[in-house]
Amino acid sequence: MSLRIVVCVKYVPDATGDRKFADDLTVDRDDVDGLLSELDEYAVEQALQIAEEADDAEVTVLTVGPEDAKDALRKALSMGADKAVHVEDDDLHGTDVMGTSLVLAKAIEKTGYDVVIAGMASTDGTMGVLPAILAERLGVPQVTLLSEVKIEGGPNGIVTGRRDGDTASEQLEASLPAVVSVTDQSGEARYPSFKGIMAAKKKPVESLELDDLDIDADEVGLAGAWTAVDSAAERPARTAGTIVKDEGEGGKQLAEFLASQKFI
């Protein structure tokens, strides 16, 4: 039996661009280029490695996002994923993490899965909680924030991994199905090859709407959100600091500054 791997990938505004909020306090997607969240490339990479190790496996990449989010799916397909699912619906605009996780959970159940792999956090919302919520919603073990991951025994097998926490490094084990998330310590993501990019154009991308997932419009979107953003203000530019060139006394001058600020 084939090991079914679903990778959740998010389409995000480029972190090196001028990211900002739109008038309705959602992310402004018009003025900044979007891309596959860099931290999700690590999830795609681990999925591909697990698939390569397994006798028989299929990697599906899944995103919830606007039309342009197809770019993120294409990138993942060109890295080597087999097929893609895109949940796209006008009513999704402004969805918070509870709505997003609901949509992802329903889409994952519809697609069928033995393991779900996600990134450690998106590079825009950066909440870092979605994988845990997915595990809760799907009712399967969470094996999250792994810097090393391994799956053995196919669809009825086990997942093991290492989680490097604040106070300890832990070795984890769970049986499939499970939700996994991986950190950027899990291994560099491969670059798409020319062949991969060409092949990606022919790979299937399935589009789903809320109706297909039996989700009502009022369960998601800005109106259905369980959180509300009241204001977003650009941080005032820092007042220009003092910059000195070291002419041999740089360390002493810096000590003088630190003393003036009462740090020493």
Partner 1 sequence: MAEILVYVDHVDGAVRKPTLELLTLARRIGEPVAVALGNGAADTAAVLAEHGAVKVLTADAPEFTEYLVVPKVDALQAAYESVSPAAVLVPSSAEGKEIAARLAVRIGSGIITDAVDLEAGDEGPVATQSAFAASFTTKSRVSKGTPVITVKPNSAPVEAAPAAGAVEALAVSFGALATGTKVTARTPRESTGRPELTEAAIVVSGGRGVNGAENFGIIEALADSLGAAVGASRAAVDAGWYPHSNQVGQTGKSVSPQLYIASGISGAIQHRAGMQTSKTIVAINKDAEAPIFDLVDYGVVGDLFDVVPQLTEEVKSRKG
Binders in 135-174 for ligand FAD, by CB under 6 A: none
**Which of the ranges 66-74, 79-87, 91-99, 149-157 carries the binding residues for partner 1, by CB under 8 A?**
91-99
Q: Tokens at residue 45, please?
A: 């990479």
Q: Tokens at residue 212, please?
A: 């297909």
How many chain residues touch ligand FAD (CB under 6 A)? 33
Other CB atoms within a 10 A radius of the CB of residue 207 amount to 13
In terms of Cα–Cα distance, which of 50, 76, 46, 9 is closest to 182? 46
Residues 4-63 that bind partner 1 (CB under 8 A): 15-16, 19-21, 25, 39
Residues 163-202 that bind partner 1 (CB under 8 A): 163-174, 178, 183-185
Does the footprint of partner 1 cover residue 245 (CB under 8 A)?
yes
Residue 111, binding choice from partner 1, ligand FAD, none, Cβ under 5 to 8 Å by partner class = none
- Binding-site string for ligand FAD from residue 15 to residue 44, where x marks contact by CB under 6 A and - marks none: ------------x---------xxxx--x-
CB of 241 to partner 1, least distance (A): 4
CB of 62 to ligand FAD, least distance (A): 6
* Phi-psi label, residue 143: left if phi above 0, alpha if psi -120 to 50, beta otherwise: beta
125: DSSP letter: S
**Site for ligand FAD (CB under 6 A): which residue of 54, 115, 130, 208?**
130
Residues 202-221 that bind partner 1 (CB under 8 A): none
**Site for partner 1 (CB under 8 A): which residue of 71, 82, 212, 257?**
257
Contact 29, 72 (CB under 8 A): no
State how far the Cα of 89 lies from the Cα of 224, in Å rounded to an integer: 14
How many chain residues touch partner 1 (CB under 8 A)? 82
Does the footprint of ligand FAD cover residue 183 (CB under 6 A)?
no
State how far the Cα of 1 lies from the Cα of 126, in Å rounded to an integer: 36
150, containing H or E segment: strand 142-152
